[in-house]
Amino acid sequence: MISLQQVSKSFGPPNNRFLAVDSVTLSIEEGNIHGIIGASGAGKSTLLRLMNVLERPDSGRVIVDKRDLTGLGNRQLREARRSIGMIFQHFNLISNRTVGGNIVLPLELAGVPKKERLNRMEEYLHFVGLWDKVDQYPAQLSGGQKQRVAIARALANRPRVLLCDEPTSALDSVTTSGILDVLRHVNERFGVTVVMVTHEMNVVNRICSHVSVMDNGQLTETNPVEVHTND
Ligand SMILES: Nc1ncnc2c1ncn2[C@@H]1O[C@H](COP(=O)(O)OP(=O)(O)OP(=O)(O)O)[C@@H](O)[C@H]1O
Ligand SMILES: [Mg+2]
């Protein structure tokens, strides 16, 4: 589903380049929940942003759902990104839009007709258990509820892949459990391939099918996760 082939990304001025992602090759099969773990500054977020080409690689190829994203122009890329959802540690909801408004906005931008927008908003708010909050504003929600709204918003575009950058790092352990359950349901019910950056091994052990370790811009190992714990 996702194939990175010798992908590199560096930042900074020409005389002081910093290699954040160093020739990473990684293959993630459809339907997997793939964890990426590593120390702060290892390049995890950059690697995730390379998967939907929010960061353009300096070299290498990024192939998602059989499409080479590195060869696409900006317009084609925007369209291809609709099949790749993303959620973040700090939720990134729009504060002056209601819960419902947050979910329909990307659909408006994608040109989805109004009736279909409202149908999908209702479907995915029910899925994350927050239909009763449709008219509330993000400031009125708890952290866990905000992340559920962000998940519903990502799902409304019917993505094939969901990229998650530390989605539970701002949440307590009980709330974290609930969000991990939602992500597992997303994977099982809709067959969405999930890639999750985390610094917590217990998150990996809870839901991931595979895990890669990142160190200093390099992927040092990738392994299946055998045992799933419940805590
Ligand atoms: N836009 C940017 N401009 C300059 N440097 C950047 C940029 N994005 C990332 N970096 C640098 O690249 C390195 C990797 O950053 P990245 O955010 O990918 O790490 P991370 O593993 O996600 O860390 P954390 O666990 O703290 O989130 C860091 O040294 C960071 O300072
Ligand atoms: Mg990060």
Query: How many C-beta neighbours within 10 Å does residue 67 have?
Result: 13
Which of 82, 103, 87, 61 has its CA nearest to residue 160? 82
Count of other CB atoms within 10 angstroms of residue 93: 21
- Whether 137 maps to a domain, the answer reads yes
Which tokens hold the place of 225?
Answer: 């996760």
25 lies in a domain? Answer: no
Q: Identify which of 17, 21, 24, 45 to mutate to test ligand 1's pocket (most ligand atoms within 8 A of the CB).
A: 45
Place of tokens 């590593």: 38
CB atoms < 10 A from the CB of 213, how many? 16
Over residues 192-201, the pLDDT tens digits come to 999 999 999 9
Residue 150 lies in a domain: yes
Contact between residue 42 and residue 215 where contact means Cβ atoms under 8 Å apart: yes
Residues with CB under 6 A from ligand 1: 11-12, 18, 20, 38, 40-46, 199
Q: Which amino acid is at 192?
A: V
Report CA Rg, the chain.
17
- Structural domain including 113 reads 31-58+74-224
**Does residue 122 form part of some domain?**
yes
Number of domains in the chain: 1
Residue 69 lies in a domain: no
* 127 belongs to a structural domain: yes
- Give the distance, in angstroms, between the CA of residue 31 and the centroid of all CA atoms in the same chain: 14
Looking at residue 186, which CATH number applies to its domain?
A: 3.40.50.300
Provide CB contacts within 8 A for 130, sequence distance 6+: 99, 145, 148, 149, 152
CA distances from 164 to 14, 103, 116, 187 (A): 31, 17, 26, 13
> How far does the centroid of ligand 1 lie from the alpha carbon of residue 40, in Å?
8
- The mean pLDDT values, 10 residues at a time, for the chain of 231 residues are 98 94 98 97 97 96 96 91 95 97 95 97 98 98 98 97 97 96 97 96 95 97 84 57
Among 77, 88, 4, 1, smallest CA distance to 47 is for 4
Q: Among the atoms of ligand 1, which is closest to the Cα of residue 43?
A: 18
Q: Which of 9, 44, 164, 168 to mutate to test the pocket of ligand 1 (most atoms within 8 A of CB)?
A: 44
Atom of ligand 1 at shortest distance to CA of 217? 14
Query: What integer pLDDT is reported at residue 230 of this predicted model?
Result: 64
Q: What is the pLDDT of residues 44-59, one digit of tens each?
A: 999 999 999 999 999 9
* Residue 68 within any structural domain of the chain: no
Say if 8 falls within a structural domain.
Answer: no
